[in-house]
Structures are given as C-alpha cells and as structure tokens.
Amino acid sequence: MMYYIVTGAAGFIGSKLIEGLNRRGITEIVAVDNLAHADKFKNIAGCEIADYIDLAELPARLEALEGSVEAVLHQGACSDTMESDGRYMMENNYAYSRRLLEWCQDEEVPLIYASSAAVYGRGPDYREERACERPLNIYGYSKFLFDQLVRARLPEATAQIAGLRYFNVYGPNEMHKGRMASVALHAYQQLHAEGKVKLFVGSDGYRDGEQRRDFIYVDDCVAVNLWFLERRNVSGVFNCGTGRAQTFNRVAVATINAVHGTQATLQDLVGKGLIEYIPFPPALVGKYQSFTEADLSRLRAAGYPGEFMTVEQGVSAYVKQLQSQ
C-alpha cells in the first residue's frame, strides 16, 4: 500500500486537496494536522482517508512509513501574518518543513509544498527571483527561508521538490481562519450581519477600495497541485496566482451581486450604502500589500496549461456554496 501524506489536512487548501485526490479515486491518504481548533474536522468529515496523525507526532512516525509513501503534499503552517512569536513561527513553518524535506529526499519521495506571496512583501515585482523577495513579517520570512533552502537543494535533488507561492486564496473550507480568512468571506459575512461590506479607504496612492490583489479561487490552487503531482520531473519554486491583480471593490461588488442576484455597479452600491469605506488600521501601515500580481512566466514555461477563474466566477461559485450551507 502506497500512501499520500497531506499535512494541514483539515485546513483550507489541505482539505480541498484531499477532495481533489478523492475525486481521482485516491483514498490511501494519511491526513496530518493539529486539531486544537476542533471545528476544522468538518472540512474533512466528508473525505475518504486511510489514517490521521497529529502534526507533532508525524516526525516520529516517519520511520514506520519508509518505503510506503507515494508523495507528500505539505500544506500545514501557521499562516497568521500578525503572529508575533517568531520562535513558534520558525519552528512550525521552517524547521518542521526542513525535517520533511530531508526525509523526502532520503526516501526519494516527491514533496509539493505551500509557500506564499508574502515572501515578496510590498513588491512591486512578483517574480520568483531573490531580488524581488522582501518579506514584511515573520510569516513571510519563514516561507522565504524555506524556499531558499529548497533552491540550494535542487541541483542534487533525488526527487521532485515543488514550492507553490499562493497569492490571495479564497473559497470553501476557510471558515476556521477567522480574521485571516479571505476578503470574499469577510464581505459575505458582513453583508449578512450588517447589510453592507466594509473596505479600507485608499492607501499607497490607491483610491478607496482600489487596492489590488491577485485573488485565486481554491479549486484553481488544487488543480495546480495535482498537475505537479502528475509531473515528477518538474521541480522549483513557482507562483500560484491568476496573473491578474483585481480590486477589493471588484470582490465586494461580485459578492453583493451574487448574494442579491443583481448586476449593480460599484457606483450603485456605494450610493445605496452597501459598500462603506473605513479608516486604515494603524497596525497595518507599512506592512500592507496594496498590490500583488503573480508573474506566471515560470509556471507557464514549466507547461501548466490551466486557466484561472475571474473574481466574478469564483465569488459566484463560493456564494452558492455558502448559501447551500
């Protein structure tokens, strides 16, 4: 029996990855996570897995798994960009990942892992090059440092190592993320709780709500992971975004229109008080990405053919799912 190990299995992208593997008939999955926040179990309650291992126990259990692992999909991490405990962040995101990498290389097992657009800081260029990488927080630094380690190992790699730098991912199974959840989920929840969506006033030269991010629907991230899983000869660090910067206003408009079944414009919605601009939080000044846009040159050069959903397509699908719950 050959197993697929998925870390962060009950989390946002990890749980959707397991769904994607299940759709391909793969159920020999060892799910690895930390269920201190027990509600996350709901994300995998409908999935088929072979075993569950606590995140802290995996390193000790790896020896027993030698010779029986097909691939490791490493999604587990502390993703709170406001986390201030640097030791915890580096142990959780860097040291743990390093141990997994070493085991995978010893075992000649493919490792596909989650990196982040946070490595780029405030940009303005989002290419997978050292000159573009300027993390603004310890989360971004932990991801950056592991990418650097991977780059150093690639020339002598015994098996595939592929890092995916996720941009702003949104979609089902992120409810547990709280304040770190996507703009789309916050917009949906605000609309239901207060009857309007709140966005920040302008910053860094952008008008109110016109800050731009590369918003990518979670199913598109899963598709990229599964593509790499089928191409064991492709290694490296790759951006995982749509290649299109889209405004926060556009996400808010798409959410309101999807909920209300309308086709209103931004001007209409602001005029009706359905979008409100609020002051910029002092804690985020100088630490905020007002613009992100994945450069997909390297992903396309590797041969990835898939297209990515627009905000309107993704938000519409997401709202349908939220309403069905």
Q: Which residues are catalytic?
A: 139, 177
Taking the C-alpha atoms of residue 61 and residue 224, their distance in angstroms, rounded to an integer, is 28
- Which element (helix H / strand E) includes 169? strand 168-170
Q: Looking at the chain, how many residues does it have? A: 325
For the range 318-321, what are the long-range contacts, defined as Cβ-Cβ under 8 Å and sequence gap of 24 or more? 318/170, 318/171, 318/172, 318/184, 318/185, 318/188, 318/217, 318/258, 319/188, 319/255, 319/258, 319/259, 320/258, 321/171, 321/172
**Kind of pairing, strands 197-200 and 275-278?**
parallel
